[in-house]
Amino acid sequence: MSRQELVAAATAAGIAKASSTKSADLEKALTKLKVKMETKTGKRGRPVVAGSARQLREAARAARIAANGGVVKRGRPAKAKTEDQVG
């Protein structure tokens, strides 16, 4: 891999100061990133329980949003503006 290709790959991978880093160090960093990316498999985090109260609330909220055409109303309702007529 040429120096320009190394710098481009390192920059795309998010390595800071790739243009001023030695080529050998860039190669090591890129191989380390590849190993990390290959070992990430499966889902991470807490599993979702389908019948939980939170999931029921989320489903009800999604149904309300769909019923309103995708509009989510938040906060206090705006006060209706009336114009005072002088005369």
53 is a domain residue: no
Domain coverage including residue 17: 3-39
Within a domain: residue 65?
A: no
Residue 48 is assigned to a structural domain of this protein: no
Q: How confident is the model at residue 87 (pLDDT cuts 50, 70, 90)?
A: low
Encoded amino acid at 26, one letter = L
Asked if residue 23 is part of any domain, the answer here is yes
C-alpha triplet 8, 34, 28: angle, nearest 5°: 70
pLDDT digits (tens, 9 = 90+) for 11-58: 888 888 888 888 888 888 888 888 777 666 667 788 889 899 999 999
| Residue 44 maps to a domain | no
Is the pTM higher than 0.85? The answer reads no
CA distance 29 to 23: 10
Could you tell me if residue 80 is inside a domain? no
Would you state the torsion angle of the CA atoms of residues 33, 35, 37, 43, taken in this order, to the nearest 10 degrees?
-140
Count how many domains the chain has. 1
Residue 35 lies in a domain: yes
pLDDT score, position 60: 93
70 φ/ψ angles, rounded to the nearest 5 degrees: 90, 10
